[in-house]
Homo-oligomer: A and B are copies of this chain.
Amino acid sequence: MSLIVMKFGGSSVGNAERMKRVANRIVERKLEGHGCVIVVSAMGDTTDDLIDLSKQLCPGTPPAREMDMLLTTGEQVSVALLAMTIHSLGHEAVSFTGWQAGMYTEALHGKARITDIRPDRIRHAIAAGKIVIVAGFQGMTEEGEITTLGRGGSDTTAVALAAAIEADVCEIFTDVDGIYSTDPRIVKCARKLNEISYDEMLELANLGAAVLHPRAVEYAKNYNVRLVVRSSFNHNEGTNVKEEAAMEQGIVVRGIAYDKNVARISILGVEEKPGQLAKVFTALANAQIDVDIIVQSGVQNGLADFSCTVSLSDQEKALQVIEGIRPEVGFRQVTSETNLVKVSIVGAGMVSTPGVAAKMFEVISELGISILLVSTSEIKTSCVIENGRLNEVIAALHSAYGLDTDQTVFVGGPSERR
């Protein structure tokens, strides 16, 4: 008997009909002889509806502890209903909340990290032949406070449980067929990937791809959990996410991602002396602003220019923070720019293949488009450009790296909430 974890997002159980389809799918697996642990999110819009209700009663910021008490009911409803639905198909199922499943977390409401999993009750239920249904996205502190794991929480629950019970595979069911070489809405010949490494998936997930949450991928990598991303609406094969070593070699660029949630902040005419850069980015970090790409251009007449990118929602705050340290740092001007997009090529083979980044710059230049900022890692190269001709750029890159025909990556399609 193999042991599998199956995770279904909110849209997969969004109404009674879909809930029944999911139940049937689970029973199929059970009848194949597998031990099944299921992780479910809240149904469809439940979470948003609860948030709306809380805003009516508590304008401003409700206490995070109470928000967790409120939102965790969404998954509890899902697990109870799914267990009943399986029961009505003639099979035994038992539902668990996060705390019943032994998901312990730190005491950080709204975005707690898992600290420990004690899956005794899950193990007993499986040994008794039952299908186990666990509420995603939630846990409990050692003091008995109910917590949530934040965005992507149900993916993380599934992967962490799979690691804890040593499951053979963790299947993430979603509303797309798997991971694509790029966004199929932009490039028609985008191809579904059969496999992708954890690191590649991590880069893509961090670059705005929404099918799998980065935390879940990181967890899978750390505990070597075999992941499969597949559709809850059909039986197509999906994409395997696994160790690079276990994969077919020779693919340099696996996929192309983009992220429109980018603003550029430029600080012009900064007096050139040691520690200036540190002051700026310490101030931004203290204000909880995540900075992505950082570039310092050459110095002229003792004055330097810095640029960095932040998410659109942090743009205003970043400008304020930087204005706030003007007396201390001394600069001529700070500006910001939107309507940008960050395009990235991702592939584990890049590090050992010279000229991969150069080709990217060449393709973009040949289209007559300026590259505003560049950043690179071992397995990706990102260019920030103006937003206007994004589709053209992605199509040209997809073709230039041979992805139109080969096996290749992007996570397209609408995302599930958690």
Contacts and interface: CB of A to CB of B under 8 A. Distances in A.
Interface of A: 16, 19-20, 50, 53-54, 56-60, 62-63, 65-67, 69-70, 72-73, 76-77, 79-81, 83-85, 87-88, 94-95, 97, 100, 121, 144, 146
B63 A84 contact: yes
Contacts of A60: 88
Given A16-B53, A57-B19, A144-B100, A79 B69 contact: yes
A339 B65 CA distance: 53
28 contacts: A16-B53, A16-B56, A16-B57, A20-B57, A50-B77, A53-B81, A54-B80, A54-B81, A54-B84, A57-B84, A58-B84, A58-B88, A59-B88, A60-B88, A62-B88, A63-B87, A65-B94, A66-B81, A66-B87, A66-B95, A69-B97, A70-B77, A70-B80, A70-B81, A73-B76, A73-B80, A100-B144, A100-B146
A79 B54 CA distance: 12
Nearest to A102: B144
A52 to B, nearest CB: 10
A69 B57 contact: no
A81 B68 CA distance: 11
B80 A66 contact: yes
A30 B56 CA distance: 23
A79 B68 CA distance: 12
A72 B100 CA distance: 14
A66 B132 CA distance: 12
Nearest to A70: B80
A57 B18 CA distance: 10
A56 B16 CA distance: 7
B80 A95 contact: no
A144 B122 CA distance: 13
Contacts of A16: 53, 56-57
A46 to B, nearest CB: 10
Contacts of A67: 80, 84
B88 A69 contact: no
Nearest to A63: B87
B87 A69 contact: no
- 7 A-B pairs closest in CB distance: A70-B80, A69-B80, A58-B84, A73-B73, A58-B88, A62-B84, A57-B85
B76 A69 contact: yes
Contact of A87 (B53, B56, B58, B100): B58
A63 B91 CA distance: 11
A94 B67 CA distance: 11
- Residue of A54, A60, A69, A87 contacting most chain B CB atoms (<10 Å): A69
Quick one: which of A60, A80, A95, A146 has the most chain B CB within 10 A?
A: A80
A130 to B, nearest CB: 11
B81 A57 contact: yes
